[in-house]
């Protein structure tokens, strides 16, 4: 049984590493009749869009899925990024376990679907950290505490550590 993919105008799909784009002015349908590595537009992460730790590991896994001839190289990168991510965000442990389970079963598409939850998790963690930081800064500023006490006031001694300018030297 064939997989039918409907591509709207300018939509893309990747089949076995080849990017296929609908250049016509209307929706087209493509039938995939054999086993192939396929990613639809919303599942594709461009290299330039891999800007966060979770998106970088998703991209490495995407490459392992699409390019089986270099899978081992991409998986080495993936595991390095995954270990770093897990060290920084241990709360992602269950999500990481689900991704690893799919990889061990050699179900790379399923691993990619599960890795999307790591990107979602990363966003939630960063949102929480940002909310907490804003609250701490707001609370500190309201009480007149210095930056060293989580406020917005001057931080005595920090300029000395930065060469006296208040900015890090390159």
Question: 85 and 130: one domain?
Answer: yes
**pLDDT tens digits along 118-151:** 999 998 888 877 888 888 888 776 666 554 554 4
DSSP state of 2: P
Question: 148 and 97: one domain?
Answer: yes
Residues 106, 128: Cα–Cα separation, whole Å: 34
Measured CA to CA in angstroms, residue 153 lies from 9, 38, 136, 142 at distances of 54, 54, 13, 10
Predicted local confidence at residue 127, as pLDDT:
82
Percent of the chain with pLDDT over 90: 62
Considering only the C-alpha atoms of the chain, give the largest distance between any 2 of them, rounded to a whole number of Å. Answer: 70
Contact between 89 and 122 (Cβ < 8 Å): yes
Taking the whole predicted model, whether its pTM rises above 0.85 is answered as no
Question: What is the mean pLDDT, run by run of 10 residues, along the chain of 170 residues?
Answer: 89 91 92 92 93 95 95 97 92 95 97 95 84 81 56 42 39
| 3-state secondary structure at position 14 | strand
What is the extent of the structural domain holding 73?
45-153
**pLDDT tens digits along 43-59:** 999 999 999 999 999 99
Question: 38 and 105: one domain?
Answer: no
Task: Judge whether 169 lies within some domain.
Answer: no
């Amino acid at each position: 049984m064939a997989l039918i993919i409907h591509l709207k105008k300018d939509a893309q799909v990747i089949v076995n590493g080849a990017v296929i784009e609908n250049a016509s002015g209307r929706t087209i349908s493509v039938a995939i009749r054999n086993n192939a590595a396929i990613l639809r537009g919303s599942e594709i992460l461009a290299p330039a869009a891999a800007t966060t730790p979770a998106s970088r590991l998703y991209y490495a896994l995407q490459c392992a899925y699409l390019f089986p001839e270099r899978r081992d190289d991409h998986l080495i990168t993936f595991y390095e990024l995954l270990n770093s991510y897990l060290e920084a965000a241990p709360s992602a442990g269950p999500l990481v376990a689900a991704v690893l389970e799919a990889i061990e079963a050699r179900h790379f598409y399923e691993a990619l679907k599960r890795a999307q939850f790591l990107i979602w998790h990363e966003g939630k963690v960063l949102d929480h950290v940002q909310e907490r930081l804003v609250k701490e800064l707001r609370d500190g500023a309201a009480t007149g505490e210095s930056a060293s006490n989580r406020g917005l006031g001057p931080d005595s001694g920090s300029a000395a550590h930065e060469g006296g300018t208040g900015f890090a030297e390159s």
